[in-house]
Amino acid sequence: MKNLKFVQFDNPEERFNRTVSILIIITMTFLIFYFVSLSWFGESDYEGGVITVGNIAVSVSTDLNFSGIYLEPNKTYSKQTTIIGSSAVDNENTNDAYIKVKLVTNPKVNGENIITPVYNTSNWVYDGSEWYYYIGFINKTTSATFNTALKVNNNLTNELQNQELDITLTVYAIQRDFEAHKTDNDWKNAPTAWKTAIAAYDTTN
């Protein structure tokens, strides 16, 4: 059996080259590992990587059409919003995602939106200011229903009569994996009630 023999680098130049080589190898290894295996490092619309390892995209079906309708105070209009995962990449399944939704009108009345969603409070947690957090997750086959109706604020004033208002619906999805919501800046301040409610869905890998 042949004896193994460790190479000795007594020459300073060789020692330097060895150190730098190790650094390069470590860096390259990290980058390869990053692009290939750790999907949660990547942003959904990132297309610069050689390999696509996952994606989050939402498909939203919503009815915000009030054409030909004049809003009446305190009146409820049947309008629904449904959210489902929709892969941004052909033949790729979308990752499971947590979602939050906000509905904003401009102008407002007394600091409140003129239109607010009617939703199942068992499925959504309102943060008290703008976002509604879904208790659960969506993917390409699992959807979430947000509002089943839209209700007009009861405190409309004469100043608002005949005024046109803008309605904006925003859906924000984040990967379910790796408990991303706990560290992402836009999610980490989510209501505790929601964090508790979705703890069972959290995955750490």
Binding footprint of other proteins on the chain (CB under 8 A): 12-13, 16-17, 20, 23-24, 27-28, 30-31, 34, 39-46, 54-60, 62, 64-66, 69-75, 83, 88, 95, 97, 114-115, 152, 154-156, 158, 160-175, 177-178, 180, 184, 186
Instruction: Give the tokens for residue 71.
Output: 């809003």
**CB-based contact 81:146 (threshold 8 Å):** yes
Q: Compute the least distance from the CB of residue 196 to other proteins, in Å.
A: 21
One-letter amino acid identity for 2?
K
d(CA 120, CA 110) in angstroms, rounded, equals: 25
Nearer to other proteins (CB atom), residue 59 or residue 80: 59
Q: Compute the least distance from the CB of residue 3 to other proteins, in Å.
A: 32
**CB-based contact 72:160 (threshold 8 Å):** no
Nearer to other proteins (CB atom), residue 1 or residue 45: 45
Nearer to other proteins (CB atom), residue 6 or residue 70: 70
d(CA 48, CA 192) in angstroms, rounded, equals: 36
Q: Compute the least distance from the CB of residue 25 to other proteins, in Å.
A: 10
Q: Compute the least distance from the CB of residue 90 to other proteins, in Å.
A: 16
The Cβ-side half-sphere exposure at 73, using a 13 Å CA radius, reads 9
Nearer to other proteins (CB atom), residue 147 or residue 175: 175
Q: Compute the least distance from the CB of residue 177 to other proteins, in Å.
A: 8
**Residue 102 CB coordination number (10 Å):** 17
Nearer to other proteins (CB atom), residue 48 or residue 128: 48
